[in-house]
Amino acid sequence: MLTRLKAEVAWFGRTVSPAERRFAGWLGWASVLVMVGLTLTGAWQFFRHEPDPDWFSYTTEGGLTGASKPSTGGAELHALFGDAAFVLALFGGAWFAYKIVFRVPKFAALAALVALAANITGSVIRFNAVKINGRTLEQADDGYLQIFTGDVDFVVNGRQELGPTAIRLFTFGHIATVPVLLIAGWFMLTRSRQARESEQSATAHPSSA
């Protein structure tokens, strides 16, 4: 009985093996590391994302005339972290629900939906050109701060033109997804820590078995 108690830990009303607990811990740390990378590259993008010179020939009459290549390498790195966050939220949450709690936690489902929303909004706001009232396309600044502080006429991404209200709403929505995903990583780490403390407590008091 004592051997079984050491091998399995009570968690969420069921027993969790040490291997499952270790994997949950690794999943939590991976989530945190991805979220840190996502936050750092996102902050860089917010202030340093550059318009693409190939889109300077864009006109409202002529339509999208430039090449749809990414504006910066930083955008690619940020998108890579975003994809990793979505994979962790979707498959990590599914594993956690199946192996640990035998149900789908509302927070895990919410994290997956938020990660999907972050990917979608991130692709929408990844601009190639920004037109500020009174300036030419070549005179646009770097980053997204100009979208909130400047008098924006329109923003062009790889597929369409967005007006000032739309680009601001999508940008704000994209930024708002990060705190929710950070909490998801914290949630995994907290639950793993609780399992470890439960195991240590059970090992320290074998008479309770």
At 33-90, the pLDDT tens digits run: 888 898 899 999 999 898 876 666 655 555 555 545 445 577 888 888 988 888 887 7
d(CA 112, CA 104): 11
d(CA 41, CA 83): 13
34 in a structural domain: yes
149 in a structural domain: yes
Which range in 73-87, 104-118, 137-151, 168-182 is most confidently predicted, on average pLDDT? 137-151
Kindly state the average pLDDT of the residues 122-150. 90
Contact predicate 140/146, CB 8 Å: yes
Domain of residue 164: give its range.
Answer: 2-6+22-60+69-208
Kindly state the average pLDDT of the residues 134-142. 88
* Length reported for the chain: 209
Q: How many domains in the chain?
A: 1
| DSSP category for residue 154 | E
pLDDT above 70 (res 7): no
pLDDT above 90 (res 157): no
Kindly state the average pLDDT of the residues 118-143. 90
Q: Which residues of 8-46 are buried (b: 16+ CB within 10 A; e: fewer)?
A: bbebeeeebeeebbebbbebbebbbebbebbbebbebbb
Q: Residues 185, 33, 14, CA angle at the centre, nearest 5°?
A: 35
- Of all residues in the chain, what percent carry a pLDDT higher than 90? 22
16 in a structural domain: no
pLDDT at residue 145, as a whole number: 93
159 in a structural domain: yes
13 in a structural domain: no
| DSSP category for residue 29 | H
145 in a structural domain: yes
196 in a structural domain: yes
152 in a structural domain: yes
R_g of the chain computed on alpha carbons: 23
Which CATH number fits the domain that encloses residue 143? 1.20.810
Which range in 26-30, 76-80, 161-165, 191-195 is most confidently predicted, on average pLDDT? 161-165
Stated pTM of the model: 0.70
